[in-house]
Amino acid sequence: MTADGPIFVLNGPNLNLLGQRQPEVYGSATLDDVVELCRTTAAKAGRDIDARQSNHEGELIDWVHEARLSASAVIINPGGFTHTSVALRDALVTLEVPLVEVHISNVHAREEFRRHSYVSGIASGVIAGLGIQGYRAAIDFVCAQD
């Protein structure tokens, strides 16, 4: 943990496709737009972000281990791993900094299997259904923590 370290913004599988498919579910903004929104929101509070996306469970886990050493907070949209990955949860539970789970869509208004998250029970907070503005809210939240 590093109090003045960057806010890690981690995005999981398929989120690189944002803005290219299923705009009726995920909107028309791209992942670059998400990163820009996070960066400008954090900058207003004098904070920096480290934004990464991976389609690979192990890579996301490696980044969480990295976050343990250097991040001041972690914001994660685990994508489909939200609903499947005990291993990602096992990594996230080791964090000693604020952890916010973000979903672009309202996972509770979709298929039943999306209603269960392996992450929610260990997160400081969960945001779903606000589109990419959920990332802004998550950045504002972690920036308001000591």
Which residues here bind ligand CA2, judged by CB under 6 A? 14-15, 17-18, 21-22, 26, 77, 79-80, 82, 103-105, 107, 114
Of 44 and 108, CB closest to ligand CA2:
108
Gap between the Cα atoms of 6 and 44, Å rounded: 14
Of 22 and 70, CB closest to ligand CA2:
22
At closest approach, how far in Å is the CB of 123 from ligand CA2?
13
Of 15 and 67, CB closest to ligand CA2:
15
**Is 65 assigned a catalytic role?**
no
**Is 103 assigned a catalytic role?**
yes
At closest approach, how far in Å is the CB of 86 from ligand CA2?
16
Residues in the chain: 146
Gap between the Cα atoms of 64 and 15, Å rounded: 18
Alpha helix (H) residue ranges in 48-132: 57-70, 86-92
Gap between the Cα atoms of 6 and 83, Å rounded: 27
At closest approach, how far in Å is the CB of 14 from ligand CA2?
4
Report, as residue numbers or ranges, the catalytic residues: 26, 103
